[in-house]
Each structure stands twice: as structure tokens, then as C-alpha cells.
Structure 1
Amino acid sequence: MPQHPATDRLALFAMLALFPGSFFYQLSVGLGLIPAFAGGYFGLACASIFVLLGVRYGFRTLGKLKVQPFDTAYLGFLLYFAGVAALNSLTKHDDEHLTWHLTAVIQCATVYLIFKGMTGRSKAARRFIWLAVSGMTACIFYFMENGVFSIRAISGNTENISSYQGFALYYLICSIIAIKNIQTRTLRIISYPAVTYALYVNGARSEFVALLIFIVTFEICRSNFKSLSATSAMILLLAISATLYSGAVNLPENRVTRLLNLSEDNSSLVRNQISEQGFSRILDNPLLGDYGSYEKGYYIHNILSVWLDLGLLGFIYFLMLILIPLVLIGGKITLKGKSDAEHAFIFSSLVACLVLLIFGKYFTYLMLPAVLGYYSSALQQITANPNNSVSRVKSDKLIGRDGKHPD
């Protein structure tokens, strides 16, 4: 049986330093265990990792004198984004949006480069990732109060401490990678209650929904009987929703439970108003959009945010980055019986990302560059060694040829 390439050690170290590292650093600062010696940590860690991985990527690219096509596409989008931000800063003298967006560009590029190195299957990598997820889960349960995990509330200080959304992102990114690395369905099913409840008590609705979508889609993709699995999952989700809505089961009250009644949720009402205002600006200038025509934080909380900031061209460009991999991988999954973990991970993550972007996330949401980086690496392993046995196995997985593949 051919051996899969090991996980890139530098990428693994960077992923652990960035996501679990941010979680534990901010937890420690919030509890008063350490001073905030690195500010909010995530931004500084991103900048440092960007330099390390960026320099290495540059040397490797120059050495081969060849850039992987999907890298060109995604990094080209980030350059386009940065160019629009810089141009508008010069014409509108808007340094606040420029700083924010250039920071977002660096963070997206960093996460993309990290996940290009996460496609290997080393046992050590799986253990480190699951150790990190287990540690974060234990901390969430231990430090939650009245069914809610909020380090800001515990510390009484919001400076240098992420919001619930930051903690949820760190946890979600690590969890989906950990789930992908579990080779047996039984072990995955055993782990699901803990990770889903951990995100529930965190209170981040988007990440909670994303995890549920990822889990359901992943298990359907991994099943030999996709139609039956999809039907069973739908019935189960409807039954759970009906049970929660009826009040038969009392869960701790937090932002997630308000999903059952969004018409009375103030946050949802405000976001709807912002979206309506943003859409009106798009209609006023559909070709170029209206970059930065909002106060920081009051952006459109859905995929139309890219149209408003980057115009119609940027919107189409962004959609293609998501839809092309989604359609290609989705087509192969549809034609196969039991899909391999790589296929299932890419497709499930993209589905979850697309749902979040449609209903509630700004277009720089970091789950997307993570899965696109993973997708790019999977393609690169095929094209780099087309005659290698490992590459042939990888190629069979990605293009849907017949054959048995290791789980």
C-alpha cells in the first residue's frame, strides 16, 4: 500500500501556534495567568508566520520557476483586494479601512499557506491536533459559567481578549481537521457531542451551524449509501429542531438558542438593516461597488460584502474561487460510492463556508482560505509527481477513477 506524504512540519507548527496558540494565550491572559505580552497575539502570530511561510514559498517557487495554478488564482484575488484597498485609500484618504483590509489580506494568505501543508497523514500530526482540540474542549467546559463560555466576562476586560467569535473560529478550524483525521466512523460519532456542545456554550451561532453542516455533509460523503444517509440526517435534524423548539429539552440560554426565533433577535435585526443599506449602495453602483462606504464593523454580513467592496468583477472572481472546487469535487463525490477523507473534507468545508458567507460572514472569513489552501495542495501533489504511485492514488481520489483507497 502506498504511503501518504507526511504533514509539513513547519505548517503543522504554524497551525498549532496560530489557532490553539491564540486560544490558550487569550485564555491565560483573560484568567490573569500571564500578561498580555503579545497584544491580542493572533495578529502578531499571523505576521510572523506569514514571513516564515511566505519566504519559503517564494524560494520554492523561484527554484521551480513554476506557480501552481490555483495558488495564482487565490493569491491573485488577494492582490486584487489589496490593490482596491490601496487605490481607495489614496483617493478617499481612508487609512482605517486600508489598515484593516491589508491585515485581512495577510491573515488570509497566512492561513492559505498553512493549510497547503496540512494534507499529509502523519500520526504525530493527528495526535497533536487532537491533543489541542481535547485541551480546548476541556477548558471550555471547565471555565463555562451558567452554560456559557466567555473569557471576556470572566476577566471583566475586553482589551487583548477575543470575542466569542474569535474563540469559536480557533476551535472550529482545529475541530474540522481533527474530525477529518479520524479514520473510523464510530470514533467520529463518539467525538461529535463534545465538540458540538463546546461550540454551543461558546455562543457563536455561525460557527455552531458550520460545524453541524460540516459533520452532516462529511458523514454523507463518507457513506456508501449517500441518499439514505442524507434522508436520515434530515429526519434527525428536523426531530432535534422540533424537540428544542417545543421546549421539551431545556438547554442553557445563549445566542445559539435564539436561532429558533431570529425575528426577536436584536443582532439579526441590525444585520438585516445593514445588509439592506449595503445592497442599496450596490444597486447605485453595481459595476464598481462602493468600497468602504460604512463604518468599520458595520459591513454587510454576507457574501454581498465582496461586491460592495470590490465591485462586480471582484464578486464574480470570489464566487469562482468557491464554486469551481465545489462543483469539481462534488461531481466526483456524486459518482463514487464511499468518498475518501480528502474529498469529503474539501467538499464539506466548502459547503459550510458557502452557507456562512451567504447568511452571515464577511468575505475575509478565515475558514475559506483554510480549505482552499488544502484543496490547492491536494491538486499540487498530483501535478508535481504524475508518475509516482502516491500521486496516482491521490489522482484517483480527486478525479474519481475506480479503485479501492485507504480510509
Structure 2
Amino acid sequence: MVLSGDALTTRVSAIGFYVLFPGFILYHTLVAMGMIPPVLGGLFGVVSVLMFIVYCALLPSQLYVLLATTRGYALVTLFFFTYVLLWSVGNYGLIGGSVMRAALTQTVETLVLWLVLFVLGYRVPLASPRLTRAFWIAFVLIAGYLMFHVATTGQWMFFARRMIEAEVEAGDSVSTYQGYARSALVLLLFLIAVSERAVVRAVLIVVGAFVMFVLGARSELYAFLALSALLLMLWAGMSVKYMLTLLAVVAALIALVVSQFEALAGSRQLQIFDLSGTSSWLARQNLGQRAVEQILSSPLLGRFGGHIASADMTGGYAHSMLSAWVNYGLLGFALYVGLTFSAFVGAAYRLILMGDHAAAWVFAFSINFVCLLLMVLAKPVFWPLPALGWGAFANALVASRQGRSSANTQQAVTNSLHHDEPGHDAARDLQGRNDNESGTPDFRPSAL
């Protein structure tokens, strides 16, 4: 069987989506348990590079539809990628040196991840029952294992690297809690988007909160809780069923915290209520202040690689969207934040005001809300997940426009058949127009 470029891109995206997110957790856990060797290293980078090569070959076949049906959004995204690359190469060419080289390398690595996640988000088949089933199986395995871990060890944080004691090299190949949390977050957002029943979503939120808590990444945990509360409040305003679901979820989470309060009181996740005494928070404050100083010294151009020059390491960036301003100037900052903000607003308009609850719009709304929140509070420009949100928004736009086009084509064919029928008169034609304008879902005009 020979696959078209479109079908091949969809299949690669489905496989890559599974491998990079739920597969990432399963792979690293098996490596930590010593059941498989770390043949793929950290997996995320290796698989992303392989997907980058495939996507570069397939992207030309996707560009026409992508650019024609997203009303300029995809074009702005690709312009942002090009701008960042040219900006980085230009700074390296003009200044040179080890700092610029390290900054350029970091940017190129980020661009590879951005392009992969953008195309992946654009082409992932959210309506695929097989993909949904695979995600559910992974979710059950992950949640079940973490419950077993808590029950047998009494520890409310799972840290995979602690499972490897002797082999330092193997331990370096096992992800930190941040990689686990990133993958678990996307896993949960996908399942919430494709699920339709209120009770299923309630279970996902309660068990998902447990999973995110045990994995230990505070920013992802509280972003997930904020999103869950927002979605439930939106849905509660539309349905009594969801109002009861919201109350049940809140009651379940309160009961869990109260029953396990002594065990949870000393966890790093609850340190958020007293951040002034945590070393990581103080360090982030210092890095943020340094970024502000660099921006004030050059508000238009920023200071490419400034985080490396001032901290002597590639991880010395501000843990917020300010890192984009430092590295890529005011224009780069505006494009970076604007892409996520516009995607969130567009998805919110479609979901809330237009009442379109399709999985593509729920997923685009969810991923862009989480990314926007964490870009403001906790994540640097080198965090690749926003690109998945950009792709998810493009996916929803294309699906919406293509659905509308198909509906219009079907209506045109129907009208043609009616004209061919004997006895068709003006009264029937008028009645047909009234039916079509009555607001049925199939023919409701798209705002985007």
C-alpha cells in the first residue's frame, strides 16, 4: 500500500504524539526499572530529530492547505521560526565567541523541537479511536503504577532516577520529574478533549491531579488544576450535569487532601503556599531580575545569549516569557507571546461564544491556556510545548474550514438535485432556505 503525503504525515504524527508523550513516561520508567537499556537516550530529542527529518520531506505537501485555511496564522508562525533563526545566526556572525556559539546551538535545538511539535499538533488525528485507545491504556498503566508506588513506599513523589543506584550513566538517561510532568500533562489534556461524558472527565481530573501531584512538578500540577477548574466552570454554566460534576470533583480533591494531610504537608508541591523560603523560588527571582535589567539596557534588541554570558550556563535564563525578550528582542517577544495568546483567544471564542465543543477546539483551548499561564509564571522560551499549542490551533482551524467547505459542497449538490426534481416550486425553495438558516450545526457559519 502506497500512502499519500497527507496520509503519511498523519500517521507519523499519530505515532510521534504517542511516543513523545505517554510513550516517554513508559520508556523512562522501564529504563529506570532496568527492564530495557537506554537505547534511545532521553528519547524526546532523538525521536524529535527523526521526526524533523521526516517532516522536512513531507512539509511541502502540507503547506498549501496549512497556509490557505488558517487565515495567516500558520504564516506568522513560520515567519517567527525564520526570524528566530536569522536573528540567532546574525548575532553569532557579528559577535562570535563561545557564548554566542552556545546560544546559537540552544536556539537551533529549540527550533527543531518547535517545528516538530507544531507540525505534530497540526496533523495529529484527534478523532482516531485507535490513538485514543492507546492513550487510555497508557493512562491506566501510568496511574496504576503511581498508585502502587505510593501504596508500597509511602512516598508522595515519584522520582525515577532514584530507582537507579549503581549505574551513573544509565541514571543520566532517565528523565527528571519535569520531563515526566510535561508528558503526563499532554496525555491528560488529550484525553479530556476527546472524552465526551461528564463522569469520564471528572475521573480524569481527579486521577490526573493525583498523577501530576506524585510526579512532583509544581508548575504543571497547578496549571492542570487551573485548567480543570476553568473547564468545569464553563461546562457547569451550560449543563446541570457538569455543575454536579464540578461539585463532586472539588469534594473528592478536598477529601483526598484532608485524609492525607500529614503525609502531604511536607511535600514540595505544597511549598507553593510559602515560596519565600524555597531556594528554587529565590533563584528564579534572581534570574528574573537579571533578565529585567538586560531588557531595560536594550529594550528593542534585547541581549542574545545574555543568560549564558551572565550565568555561565545555558540554563541561566529567566523562567518566564521575559527570556524571549532577552534573546530575540521586542519583536521576537511579541511574536512568541502573540502566537499563544491569539490561539487561546481564538479557541476560547470558538468554544465559549460559538458553542463548538469539538475535540480539536477543546484541545487547542486547553493546551494554549496552560502554555500561556506557564509562559507568564514559570517557563522559558526554550520550553517547546507552546509550539504544540500553535499546531493544535492550526489543526482546529483547518478542520473547521474543511468541515464548512464539505457542508457547502453537500448543500450545493442537494440544491442541484432539488432543481432536477419535477414539481419543484418557489415555495419549496423558500422553505429550504429557511431550514438552512435556522442555525443547525451543519450549516452554522464559521467565525474563524
* Letter in structure 2 aligned against 1:92: G
Question: Compared with structure 1, are the counterparts of its residues 243 and 34 closer, same or farther at alpha carbon in structure 2 (3 Å cutoff)?
Answer: closer
Matching residue of 1:32:
34
Tell me which structure has the larger Cα radius of gyration. Answer: 2
Offset at 1:189? 0.6
Deviation track 1:97-155 (CA, whole Å, cap 9, x = no partner) reads: 22222111101111111111225412222111111222222233334542210011121
Offset at 1:206? 0.9
Offset at 1:15? 0.8
* Letter in structure 1 aligned against 2:303: D
Verify: 1:92 aligned to 2:96, yes or no.
yes
* Letter in structure 1 aligned against 2:36: I
Verify: 1:347 aligned to 2:349, yes or no.
no
* Letter in structure 2 aligned against 1:353: C
Offset at 1:261? 1.1
Offset at 1:247? 10
Distance, in Å, in 1 between the alignment partners of 2:179 and 2:126 is 27
Verify: 1:103 aligned to 2:109, yes or no.
yes
Ranges in structure 2 where 5+ consecutive residues have no aligned partner: 1-6, 308-312, 412-437, 443-448
Deviation track 1:31-54 (CA, whole Å, cap 9, x = no partner) reads: 222222222221110000111233
Checking the alignment, whether the CA contact within 8 Å between 1:74 and 1:321 is kept in structure 2 is yes
Checking the alignment, whether the CA contact within 8 Å between 2:74 and 2:394 is kept in structure 1 is yes
Offset at 1:237? 6.9
Offset at 1:172? 0.9
Distance, in Å, in 1 between the alignment partners of 2:373 and 2:201 is 23
Matching residue of 1:358:
376
Matching residue of 1:286:
299
Deviation track 1:355-396 (CA, whole Å, cap 9, x = no partner) reads: 111111012323311122111012123445643029999xxx
Verify: 1:249 aligned to 2:254, yes or no.
no
Checking the alignment, whether the CA contact within 8 Å between 1:222 and 1:341 is kept in structure 2 is no
Question: Compared with structure 1, are the counterparts of its residues 196 and 248 closer, same or farther at alpha carbon in structure 2 (3 Å cutoff)?
Answer: closer
More helix by share: 2
Verify: 1:153 aligned to 2:162, yes or no.
yes
Question: Compared with structure 1, are the counterparts of its residues 191 and 330 closer, same or farther at alpha carbon in structure 2 (3 Å cutoff)?
Answer: closer
Offset at 1:58? 1.9
Offset at 1:10? 2.5
Alignment map for 1:28-67 (pairs within 5 Å): 28-61=30-63
Checking the alignment, whether the CA contact within 8 Å between 1:218 and 1:345 is kept in structure 2 is no
Q: Which of 292, 310, 320 matches 1:302?
A: 320
The TM-score, its normalising length taken from structure 1, stands at 0.85
Offset at 1:201? 1.0
* Letter in structure 1 aligned against 2:39: F
* Letter in structure 1 aligned against 2:161: R
Question: Compared with structure 1, are the counterparts of its residues 265 and 403 closer, same or farther at alpha carbon in structure 2 (3 Å cutoff)?
Answer: farther
Offset at 1:182? 1.0
Offset at 1:242? 12
Question: Compared with structure 1, are the counterparts of its residues 242 and 38 closer, same or farther at alpha carbon in structure 2 (3 Å cutoff)?
Answer: closer
Ranges in structure 1 where 5+ consecutive residues have no aligned partner: 1-5, 394-400
* Letter in structure 2 aligned against 1:27: T
Distance, in Å, in 1 between the alignment partners of 2:262 and 2:409 is 51
How big is the alpha-carbon RMSD for the aligned residues of Structure 1 and Structure 2?
Answer: 3.5
Q: Which of 15, 18, 21 matches 2:17?
A: 15
Offset at 1:226? 8.4
Secondary structure of 1:364 counterpart: coil
The TM-score, its normalising length taken from structure 2, stands at 0.78
Between 120-129 and 193-202, the greater mean CA deviation after superposition:
120-129
Alignment map for 1:41-190 (pairs within 5 Å): 41-61=43-63, 69-90=72-93, 91-93=95-97, 94-143=100-149, 145=153, 146-156=155-165, 157=168, 158-190=171-203
Checking the alignment, whether the CA contact within 8 Å between 2:206 and 2:252 is kept in structure 1 is no
Matching residue of 2:336:
318
Matching residue of 1:396:
none
Offset at 1:63? 9.6
Alignment map for 1:186-197 (pairs within 5 Å): 186-197=199-210
Verify: 1:199 aligned to 2:212, yes or no.
yes
Question: Compared with structure 1, are the counterparts of its residues 63 and 237 closer, same or farther at alpha carbon in structure 2 (3 Å cutoff)?
Answer: closer
Deviation track 1:200-246 (CA, whole Å, cap 9, x = no partner) reads: 0111001101211222222233344389989x9699879978996x9
Checking the alignment, whether the CA contact within 8 Å between 2:161 and 2:175 is kept in structure 1 is yes
Checking the alignment, whether the CA contact within 8 Å between 2:287 and 2:317 is kept in structure 1 is yes
Checking the alignment, whether the CA contact within 8 Å between 2:360 and 2:395 is kept in structure 1 is no
Secondary structure of 2:172 counterpart: coil
Distance, in Å, in 1 between the alignment partners of 2:246 and 2:67 is 47
Checking the alignment, whether the CA contact within 8 Å between 1:16 and 1:129 is kept in structure 2 is yes
Secondary structure of 1:35 counterpart: coil
- How many residue pairs match? The answer is 393
